[in-house]
Structure 1
Amino acid sequence: MSTCTARVLLCLSEKGLEYELVPVQMSKGAHKQQPYLSLNPFGQIPAFEDGDVSLFESRAICKYLALKHKDIGTDLLRSSSFAEATIVDLWMEVEAHQFNGPISAFIRQIFLNPMFGRAPDEKVIETETEKLGKILDVYEERLSKSKYLAGDYYTMVDMNHIPYLVYFMKTPYATVVTSRPHVSAWWKNVLSRPATIKVSSGMTL
């Protein structure tokens, strides 16, 4: 269910790494209590352990995995090229600071509010959808010149967008993506990756 957990699972799958997924009983508040708070002091999902390394925040976990295992699986950070790695960093900032805000607010209204007995706020949905459209206009221009957002290679930039878009594309607002031909082609491309198919098949809200 968690988009942030899905992001880490995508990274693990792209790298071909074995892992153990440990469920947290959020309905009973286990994420707000010890021992979980010793792993993530903010009481949020996910937390990650690798030997003596303990991390939280999904993007940081993914960067750790990509750097530690840079020689296996998909080269998600383009670490062998300073120029390419810099472009990856740039567009990862775009995802985190431009794209994430509107789409997460949208998903909260459409999916999470009803789960907690609250009606979706149509004004918020309209506002965030408009913001998202303007961001995707920039993506459309970018993707008219390259196959993926950071260049002609799949990277962590593309991967980081996937979890929220999996849910977004199940809504009537999916035309915000499909009406932009280059964005739509990009989405179909990343959606067809084995790692995406594997992880998205288990994503339910």
Structure 2
Amino acid sequence: MGSIKVFGLPTSTDVARVLTCLFEKELEFQLIRIDTYKGKRKVPEFLRLQDISGQVTFKDEEKMLLDSREICRYIADYPTSEPSTKKLLGTGILERASVEQWLQAESENFEPPSSALVFHLAFAVPMGINPDQAIIKTNEDQLAKVLDIYDQRLALSEYLGGDEFTLADLSHLPYSNYLMSRSDRGRRLFESRKNVERWWKKISSRSSWLKVLELQNEHPGPF
């Protein structure tokens, strides 16, 4: 298990996603912090607005992966000595299909407006950039529609993929946390939907995510 290495900063949404998955599976790993911001003043790459490959590199012996969601799928299927280890991709064909459906919703529908809102609501001003109000409104409306669908789904089940915590929920943690902790407008989008708010409180209180937040506080990055 000690062969697993993660390269990047915990403040990166991609890195945070991978670290949460590793903590959920209780796997040993080595985090090698690579500070891509040192000596540079540019848009944070963890927002994935410039670097389409993301901001994480995962290595397990000779196997190397770069996409955080693919890394999480790999980790979810990682063999462990504990048979009770969480089944983050579900426990059957139908459950896995449901998890994959919500993972796709996260990557294609939730992340794009979330990343834009995080940048313009939380990081633009500290960087000396004027937030674009038109972009904020457009993405706020888009994310509201996504969260309305989530709220309906979460009225029927404890989590997005069903009644157990899976990658479908885990993958939402990094951007949701920035929206909840750095922006009143972002926080209202979650808190105005009772099922989404309940879901967020539950997934954000998991020990795996709290460990990631501790790592982020140890190395907070440039902002």
The question of a shared fold, defined as TM-score above 0.5 by the shorter chain, is answered with yes
Q: Does 1:73 align with 2:90?
A: no
- Matched AA of 1:177: F
Percent identical among aligned pairs is 35
Aligned with residue 56 of structure 2, among 31, 46, 54: 46
**Aligned match of 1:114:** 125
Q: Which runs of 5+ in 2 are unaligned?
A: 1-10, 41-50
If each structure's helix is expressed as a fraction of its own residues, which one has the higher value?
A: 1
Distance 2:53 2:172 in 1: 23
**Aligned match of 1:61:** 71
Q: Please, which moves more after superposition, 191-200 or 45-54?
A: 191-200
Distance 1:61 1:21 in 2: 15
Secondary structure at the aligned position of 2:157 is classed as coil
Distance 1:127 1:6 in 2: 27
- Matched AA of 1:55: L
Q: TM-score by structure 2 length?
A: 0.81
Deviation at 1:131, TM superposition (A): 0.8
Taking a change above 3 Å as real, the CA distance of residues 81 and 105 of structure 1, as seen in their structure-2 partners, is same
Report the RMSD for the aligned CA atoms in angstroms: 2.0
Aligned with residue 172 of structure 1, among 160, 171, 184: 184
**Aligned match of 1:38:** none
Q: Is the 8 A contact 2:88 2:165 kept in 1?
A: yes
Aligned with residue 107 of structure 2, among 96, 114, 139: 96
Q: TM-score by structure 1 length?
A: 0.88
**Aligned match of 1:130:** 141
Taking a change above 3 Å as real, the CA distance of residues 44 and 146 of structure 1, as seen in their structure-2 partners, is closer
Deviation at 1:43, TM superposition (A): 6.6
**Aligned match of 2:211:** 198
Q: Which runs of 5+ in 1 are unaligned?
A: 31-40
